[in-house]
Amino acid sequence: MTSALFEPITVRGVTVRNRIWVTPMCQYSAEQQDGMPNDWHLVHLGSFARGGAGAVFTEATAVLPEGRISPQDLGLWNDAQRDEFARIVRFIHSQGAAAGIQLAHAGRKGSTFRTWDERRGTVPADDGGWPTVGPSAIAFPGYEEPAALTTDGIRGVADAFAAAAVRALAAGFDLLEIHAAHGYLLHQFLSPLSNTRTDSYGGTLANRARLLLETIDAIRAVVDDGVPLSVRFSATDWVDGGWTLEETQTVARWAAEHGADLADISTGGNVPAAHIPVGPGYQVPFATAVRAAAGLPTIAVGLIEEPRQAEQIVATGLADVVMLGRALLRDPNFPLRAAAALGVAVDYASQQYHRAPIGPTTP
């Protein structure tokens, strides 16, 4: 049987073996609060590569220390972090998967407790926290007020993304993603709810998108033309007066003109009071709408949990790739199980597990 889900996809100079990719998922597991990946990240990410995923993306990886979400988040602001990531990338490649990294800056949503901590809000300095920054001095509800970035500070953010991209490629990563979603710094600039600046980085849509486009430009200036670059957007803030699908479509088109190759479409995250109608595949229509308007291949995310559901999304052109999170946490072998369910023979099931095959394989 043929399957759109298991057709390889080529983006610039990189060919990925299938359309089931691992979405970035924060692990809050950097033990020394130094942004360093460790054995947890090796096993966590490596299990998805062994399980048949096409591309395995790291969690949101901070380009600056103050860009972390929590003190336990990963970072890529120094060469020691680069070298630890290289070990993980080598294993991902050894299993036939592509390695992707999501580069991020949390902005006003930084310096927070990890999700399973009983405490909420901003981490005190004595516990490893730090002062946060944002486009404007507007706090995310329940967090401390950020300092509004200066113009020099804004330029420093774009430069930090570019420096992290260079380190990522030196570590062996194949695909880069800019995190401009979920209420983190670049999304904060995009949304009028968090950006009330009156200079060239605020007000009009072009001004609010300026930092994102400058970040794309900064990365494209230092990486090879064959390197694919994705941008994750929240397609809507889900509240009146916030960031909208129509604005996402426009900025995604601008992003493509500046050198982005994929639009990874999620929603929400910039305000806590949004009413989001969650259900299976609830964000897929946004990916479809951006794909149609911006002329960019898109990645769909959000409660994609069954093989035939994923196949239908790709086969009918609703999106070009699906990214899975919870489904892969429950079963890192989801891609192999999906191949079996769809009757597709694949040649990348681990030989070490040959006593427990999952569906048909080729020699």
Burial category of 239 from C-beta neighbours within 10 Å (exposed 0-12, middle 13-18, buried 19 and up): middle
Query: Given 143, 184, 201, 348, which residue is catalytic?
Result: 184
| Residue 343 in tokens | 């009757």
E strand intervals along 140-290: 147-148, 175-180, 229-234, 262-266
Could you give the C-alpha distances from 13 to 80, 98, 225, in angstroms and in order? Answer: 27, 12, 8
Answer yes or no: 201 catalytic: no
Is the separation of the CB atoms in 297 and 313 below 8 Å? no
Q: How far apart are CA 56 and CA 45, in angstroms?
A: 7
| Residue 19 in tokens | 């359309």
| Residue 254 in tokens | 């601008």
| Residue 142 in tokens | 């329940």
Please name the residue that has the structure tokens 């991020």: 104
Q: How far apart are CA 316 and CA 313, in angstroms?
A: 6
Q: How far apart are CA 40 and CA 23, in angstroms?
A: 17
Could you give the C-alpha distances from 247 to 69, 217, 293, in angstroms and in order? Answer: 26, 20, 11
| Residue 45 in tokens | 């990410």
Catalytic residues: 184
